[in-house]
Amino acid sequence: MTTTASQEAFLQAFHARRPAVTAEAFGRGRAPDGRSSYELLCDRVAGRRRVLDLGCGDGLLLEVLAQENGRQLAGLDLSAQALALARRRPALAGARLEEGRAQELPFADGSFDACVCHMALMLMGEIEQVAAEVARVLSPGGVLACVVGGGAVGGEAYERFLGLLRNTIEEVPASRRIPALGDRRTRSRDGLDEVLGPAGFAAVGWETVPIDLSGRVEQVWAAVSGLYDLGPLDTAAVERLRDAFFAEMRDMTTPEGAVPCAFKVHIATARLH
């Protein structure tokens, strides 16, 4: 299997078990202005009628996009199970939802005014091919708007969780660890310029926003334990990690019972020439 094929096989197997994992965690996340990262992304394509969601998962972003009247929406994902959830959303009854790869889009040239991608671009291999395909299906002047993960804010639960996770993963034999996912260049402005420029996009606009995921310890655990890195851990290892996390959170919990947790996201936008 090629590297990209093994990454995609891992992602498909992971989302077959947890098809709504990202929306469950990030749907309740809030930026400083009180809105979710899905809503922030939606703003970047306001007024654009034909919109494609790349790696649409269970369709939460498409549902937010559908709040603007008269839109023609399409979503594409590797995961049949995630798409089955998207198809159950009444707001998406008229959307075209396709199982497939971002590297080979099943859409005609120039069929969209915008392409959005929430927490998925940074997982994709053969990223130049993805950039070329997005450029092909966008009409001239079309916009690509993405949310990519930016890591822990620091001094909160997610940072502590990552420390515990590193120790747990060291116990897993190297042969069972997850394949390195995606292309690192998608996580920085310069890197994304390097990928998108040759495909015909103008310079990338870049904003970094903290997303507050604070809540009861069970809610915070549900968010952080959705990371792909937990995929290869057996039940006993996940239980040990959970116990260690709950123990470490005791001294961080506020008198009201909330655990502070935050995650940075980068919002990147680029316009096709």
Ligand X SMILES: C[S@@+](CC[C@H](N)C(=O)[O-])C[C@H]1O[C@@H](n2cnc3c(N)ncnc32)[C@H](O)[C@@H]1O
Selection from 228, 224, 258 nearest residue 241 by Cα? 224
Q: Which two tokens stand for residue 170?
A: 């060291």
Stretch near ligand X under the rule CB under 6 A, chosen from 63-71, 97-105, 237-245, 257-265: 97-105
**243: Cβ contacts below 8 Å, ≥ 6 apart:** none
**Helix or strand run (H / E) with residue 206:** strand 205-212
Q: Is 102 in the site for ligand X (CB under 6 A)?
A: yes
Stretch near ligand X under the rule CB under 6 A, chosen from 40-48, 75-83, 201-209, 211-219: 75-83
Q: Which of residues 34-63 bind ligand X (CB under 6 A)?
A: 55-57, 60-61
Smallest distance, ligand X to C-beta of residue 75, A:
9
How many residues make contact with ligand X (CB under 6 A)? 23
Q: How many residues does the chain have?
A: 273
Binding mask 6-25 for ligand X (x = CB under 6 A): --x--x---x------xx--
Smallest distance, ligand X to C-beta of residue 76, A:
6
Decide: 229 and 176 in contact? Cβ < 8 Å. Answer: no
Stretch near ligand X under the rule CB under 6 A, chosen from 98-106, 135-143, 241-249, 255-263: 98-106
- The CA distance from 186 to 192, in Å, is 5
Stretch near ligand X under the rule CB under 6 A, chosen from 96-104, 107-115, 151-159, 265-273: 96-104
Q: If phi over 0 gives left and psi between -120 and 50 gives alpha, with beta otherwise, what is residue 196?
A: alpha
Among 64, 114, 119, 195, binds ligand X (CB under 6 A): 119
Amino acid identity at 92: L
Among 41, 42, 73, 82, binds ligand X (CB under 6 A): 82
**235: Cβ contacts below 8 Å, ≥ 6 apart:** none
Identity of the residue, 84 or 202, whose beta carbon is nearer to ligand X in the bound complex: 84
Stretch near ligand X under the rule CB under 6 A, chosen from 65-73, 119-127, 159-167, 206-214: 119-127
What order of strands is seen across the sheet that includes strand 138-152?
Answer: 96-99, 72-77, 50-54, 112-118, 138-152, 262-271, 205-212
Q: Is 121 in the site for ligand X (CB under 6 A)?
A: no
Identity of the residue, 133 or 156, whose beta carbon is nearer to ligand X in the bound complex: 133
Q: Is 124 in the site for ligand X (CB under 6 A)?
A: yes
204-229 burial: b if 16+ Cβ within 10 Å, else e: bebeebbbbbbbebebbbbbbbbbbb
Binding site for ligand X (CB under 6 A): 8, 11, 15, 22-23, 55-57, 60-61, 76-79, 82, 101-103, 118-120, 123-124
